[in-house]
Chains A and B, each alone.
Chain A
């Protein structure tokens, strides 16, 4: 029979285990998550599911495995196929499954990414030969402004860089989506840069766009056109495909190293920036990596 000391030690051990998040069973239920599976940069939808039975022990992989037919590799850490669509690699192209949580590419595998509830998970099957790293996308709007990323809610900062009326438009759309925008955002906030490209390009994170999709993950480029800049849409190989012109606006997201994601709402002219700001809603951005607008014509990027 264990003595009273042993009983106390066992009770303390169990208390300590419970305090660090241990317990029997899958844990408490948390808010459901939004699961989307697409292919070819979001152009072909495969699955869209509101996953309801999410618990605190769930990971991105478990949520996917419960809702799709999945095969894995490397000890279950990486997805090899979803619903029979397999990753493949050849001389011409390399196709693989990538996932975004709240529009931010994860630095850990799906099996190691815990869910906290309310996340938007997007799996996309795409050719990564032109750009392997696409650190942030806009297709989860209004995430990551609402739920943050990597399990933490983050403040949001709107930086008006000569955007004029577009800055107010961006503020309004964020508030409509339920996002609180502080007047003085802290350093670790997710930034939204609003302004013409001639100003926005001075930001180190946004300036990556000029270095191509390999650096920024954005399949668009601004080329100097006199004093202004004209927007060029690239295809998934990174080649110029659509000349959108100086009147075209762009909404894109990128990230520099491990800094918080940066969204750019920009264009060649002030009117183009305003047009870009009007794209900030789920119907325009849903399941897209980035979106350009020329007049009323919206173009998902990369151009296909």
Chain B
């Protein structure tokens, strides 16, 4: 079973763009989510990442991340409401609790928790879109000259986490397939089995990496000085010093920079107006709405223009039942 977060190559702008462009674009949206607490702007970031994922064909990843993110958001709302008794609008009094003391559920604590939860959900969806749309091998290739080991670690994690998720799903299926008469399998045995499998796989991966020479010092393409060495490095790592540019790169770079610039300028102009306590005040001024609108529209960046169609205007085609439009 394939994880919905696993990278799937598709002929879509976000997948075709270079990793740096895609990371700039998605990273800008994540940065806005951390820069702002205003719910309108956070909602706009959410719309943008969902739209981006949808247009990039990663709807399964977006849906799964939304489900997980909203569950986490709900948990954050509940915990915040129980732990924080600040705010002046008391909705419920839950009495004296052993660890928390007097627990009063206030509207302000719920709103503050909702904002924290919304931020967590938005960031999760953004990472889901990244995971499903950005090729980890290309990320590794792009980062190798800068930090080879870190890039390798990051790529392995981004590969192995979906694999572990798929393993978990397979184990659950296997447990279910034992039939209704079988004793139920607890989460702990499943987690133990999953951990053991992951460790086995980690050993295999480590052995493979060693066999392929990842432990050697002189793996950097820059040290391949001989012609033969350069050719070998090129074959192994791709063109040395060259980047395969995509025609969509400029669009994603521009959108990322624009979103970040607008967010920073908006923050300076007071667009992040939001106060949780003692009473919730949500700013909805022109600056806030403008930032929210621009951020939400940035979700259209992965939109692919439809190829131009030319109508074959031959008298015969027009008069017969042949399809009128023919791809040029």
Binding site for B on A (CB under 8 A): 17, 20-27, 55-57, 61-62, 65-66, 70, 72, 75-76, 111-112, 114
Contact = CB atoms under 8 A, between A and B. Distances in A.
A21 B85 contact: no
B165 interface: no
A66 B104 contact: no
B278 A65 contact: yes
B216 interface: no
Given A22-B92, A57-B90, A75-B84, 19 more contacts: A17-B94, A17-B95, A20-B95, A20-B96, A21-B95, A21-B96, A22-B93, A23-B93, A24-B92, A25-B90, A25-B91, A26-B89, A26-B90, A57-B104, A65-B88, A65-B278, A70-B278, A72-B277, A75-B86
B102 interface: yes
A109 B89 CA distance: 19
A150 to B, nearest CB: 14
Given A112-B102, A114-B102, A66 B95 contact: no
Nearest to A27: B93
Interface string B62-92: 0000000000000000000000111011111
Contacts of A21: 93, 95-96
Contacts, number: 52
A22 B277 contact: no
Contacts of A20: 95-96
B92 to A, nearest CB: 5
Contacts of B89: 26
Nearest to B94: A22
Nearest to B103: A22
Nearest to B105: A24
Interface of B: 84-86, 88-96, 101-102, 104, 277-279
A76 B90 contact: no
Contacts of B94: 17, 22
A281 to B, nearest CB: 35
B92 A55 contact: no
B85 A111 contact: yes
A27 B92 CA distance: 8
Judged by DSSP, the binding face of B is strand
Contact of A22 (B95, B101, B278, B279): B95
Contacts of B85: 111
Judged by DSSP, the binding face of A is mixed
A75 B90 CA distance: 18
B88 A66 contact: yes
B93 A57 contact: yes
A24 B84 contact: no
Contacts of A17: 94-95
Nearest to B83: A75
B92 A25 contact: yes
Residue from A55, A57, A70, A114 having most chain B Cβ neighbours under 10 A: A57
Contacts of B84: 75-76
Contact of B86 (A25, A56, A76): A76
A111 B93 CA distance: 15
A94 B104 CA distance: 33
A21 B90 CA distance: 14
Given A65-B278, A66-B278, A70-B278, A27 B102 contact: no
A70 B88 CA distance: 12
A233 B316 CA distance: 114
Nearest to B104: A57
Nearest to A16: B95
B86 A111 contact: yes
6 contacts: A20-B96, A24-B93, A61-B86, A76-B84, A76-B86, A111-B85
A55 B95 contact: no
A62 B95 contact: no
Nearest to A63: B88
Contacts of B93: 21-27, 56-57
Contacts of A70: 278
Contacts of A25: 90-93
A75 B277 CA distance: 11
B205 to A, nearest CB: 44
B273 to A, nearest CB: 16
A27 B93 CA distance: 8
Contact of A27 (B86, B90, B101, B277): B90
A184 to B, nearest CB: 34
A112 B101 contact: yes
Nearest to A108: B101
B250 to A, nearest CB: 45
A22 B97 CA distance: 11
Contacts of A55: 90
A61 B102 CA distance: 14
Nearest to B276: A76
A21 B96 CA distance: 8
A75 B100 CA distance: 14
A87 B84 CA distance: 23
A26 B84 CA distance: 16
A20 B278 CA distance: 26
A23 B104 CA distance: 10
Contacts of B86: 61, 72, 75-76, 111
